Amino acid sequence: MHNLRINAQRLWDSLMETARIGATAKGGICRLTLTDLDRQVRDWLKAQCQALGCTVTVDEVGNMFATRPGKNPSLPPIAIGSHLDTQPTGGKFDGPLGVLAGLEALRTLHDHSHTTNAPVELVNWTNEEGARFAPAMLASGVFAGVFTADYAYGRTDRDGKTFGDELQRIGYRGPEKAGTRKLAGMFELHIEQGPILEHEGRTIGIVQGAQGVRWYDITITGQDAHAGAMPMALRKDALLGAARVIERVDAIARDLSDAVGTVGVIDNKSNSRNVIPGEVFFTVDFRHPQEKCLDWMEMQLQDALAETLTPMQLIYRENRIWASPPVHFSPELIDCVRVAVETAGLSYRDIVSGAGHDSVYIARVAPTTMIFVPSRDGISHNEAEWTSLEDCAAGAQVLLNAVLEYDRRLESRGLADARAAERGRHATFG
Ligand SMILES: [Zn+2]
């Protein structure tokens, strides 16, 4: 195994240097996509990559690709990166860590004059956050064929400015059609944005995929009646029915490991102190990494509604309004990360992403996986977001190790393929 050590202090200095572009008084960053601040940090990144001899290409939706050549120029590149845009009250690490750790990996390869077999490519995806132009993960979505470029261009911010005009204005509407570039794979380092790694005292999360989501709208109908005059035995109390179902939603999620279930909205119709509630609307959000478990949760919800509400003489409507299937990252890339972590001698656990990421879309078009490092107190999308220098450095080292491991595998596979092709020629013509 190669023994290329990243420079922890140099990575940290780059994080802190770029954090000044859009710095907030409370220690966070406000660097919305396609603003002058976004242009500034993009220009900085471009200059740093060019100083390492990389070629920087920009596609039609502003995704930036800094390519460091490998020995074998015919191979598609191994991509690393994340996003440099932030939430309006974002932290210093959500996004920038993945890009700057990728830059640190390129710098380390450069320091050691190490030439990989496949090219290595640092990516900065445009508008991951979706805070200025909804939806989130817009430009990685275009790259993966989920959205068209014209759809992206037409998104407007609150002032009525369009994505297309703002991209042009900051000079990052490139000539390359999004998604035409083939990737051998994509590794994204990111902060966990949850409490699990910190809670267990582990440094690295080997991300298996992203959980699936199902959203339901539920309306329960009973009968409005006087709170004083209607005896308990004769009531049709929709809110009481909802309360009992909400308990069951919580129990369903607690029954299954890795499941979460949330009722986030309640709309109680009469909402009056002395009226027995006649109609209640509420939402259910179920998440799990396995589709079959989401199916089970849905069946349990239907049972809970029938068992709870029918004896209470309440009528209900249940409607699944959205379903996003679980995403499973590439087993081979996950294995490369495992080798990378073990080589670095770090503590780890397998983990599933609770949040959306560019990698969720990129996984549709290239082998993809992610690496997580701890978030202090599990806080993110917050100016107080924090990950220590040591943990940032550990993540960057694992990122570099994983790229080198995957590169080694691609090289030996390429040699094996070449030998097989050679044998095939002898068999045909020999
Ligand atoms: Zn992010």
Q: Which of 303, 324, 345 is the last residue of a domain?
A: 324
pLDDT tens-digit readout, 248-274 = 999 999 999 999 999 999 999 989 999
Distance 95 CA to ligand 1 centre (A): 4
Neighbours of 53 (CB within 10 A): 12
Distance 190 CA to ligand 1 centre (A): 7
Domain residues for the domain of 24 are 8-210+327-418
Distance 265 CA to ligand 1 centre (A): 26
Nearest CA among 32, 125, 143 for reference residue 82: 125
Alpha-carbon distances of 202 from 239, 331, 355, 370, 401, rounded to whole Å? 43, 22, 19, 16, 18
Distance of CA 153 to the CA centre of its chain: 22
Averaged confidence pLDDT in the chain: 96
Distance CA 28, CA 94 (A): 10
**Same domain as 116, residue 88:** yes
**Same domain as 241, residue 178:** no
pLDDT tens-digit readout, 208-251 = 999 999 999 999 999 999 999 999 999 999 999 999 999 999 99
pLDDT tens-digit readout, 22-76 = 999 999 999 999 999 999 999 999 999 999 999 999 999 999 999 999 999 889 9
Flag whether 283 is in a domain: yes
Distance 391 CA to ligand 1 centre (A): 17
Distance 294 CA to ligand 1 centre (A): 25
Distance 113 CA to ligand 1 centre (A): 31
**Same domain as 351, residue 247:** no
Cα dihedral 197, 198, 202, 203 sign? positive
Question: pTM for the complete prediction?
Answer: 0.88
Distance 375 CA to ligand 1 centre (A): 12
Please tell me the total number of residues recorded for the chain in this structure. Answer: 430
Nearest CA among 183, 169, 179, 89 for reference residue 410: 183
Please tell me the predicted confidence (pLDDT) of residue 120: 98
Distance 237 CA to ligand 1 centre (A): 44
Residue 430 has pLDDT above 60, yes or no: no
Q: What is the dihedral of CA 140, 141, 143, 148, to 10 degrees?
A: -140
**Same domain as 244, residue 170:** no
Neighbours of 273 (CB within 10 A): 6
Flag whether 430 is in a domain: no
Share of the chain above pLDDT 90, in %: 92
Number of domains within the chain: 2
Residue 2 has pLDDT above 90, yes or no: no
Distance 127 CA to ligand 1 centre (A): 10
Mean pLDDT over residues 342-354, rounded?
Answer: 96
Mean pLDDT over residues 127-156, rounded?
Answer: 96
Which CATH number belongs to the domain containing residue 289 in this structure? 3.30.70.360
Q: Is the separation of the CB atoms in 324 and 291 below 8 Å?
A: no
Nearest CA among 381, 379, 383 for reference residue 19: 383
Which CATH number belongs to the domain containing residue 389 in this structure? 3.40.630.10
Flag whether 236 is in a domain: yes
Distance 88 CA to ligand 1 centre (A): 13
Distance 209 CA to ligand 1 centre (A): 15
Alpha-carbon distances of 120 from 116, 342, 406, rounded to whole Å? 8, 22, 11
Distance 86 CA to ligand 1 centre (A): 8
**Same domain as 266, residue 366:** no
**Same domain as 297, residue 342:** no
pLDDT tens-digit readout, 99-130 = 999 999 999 999 999 999 999 999 999 999 99
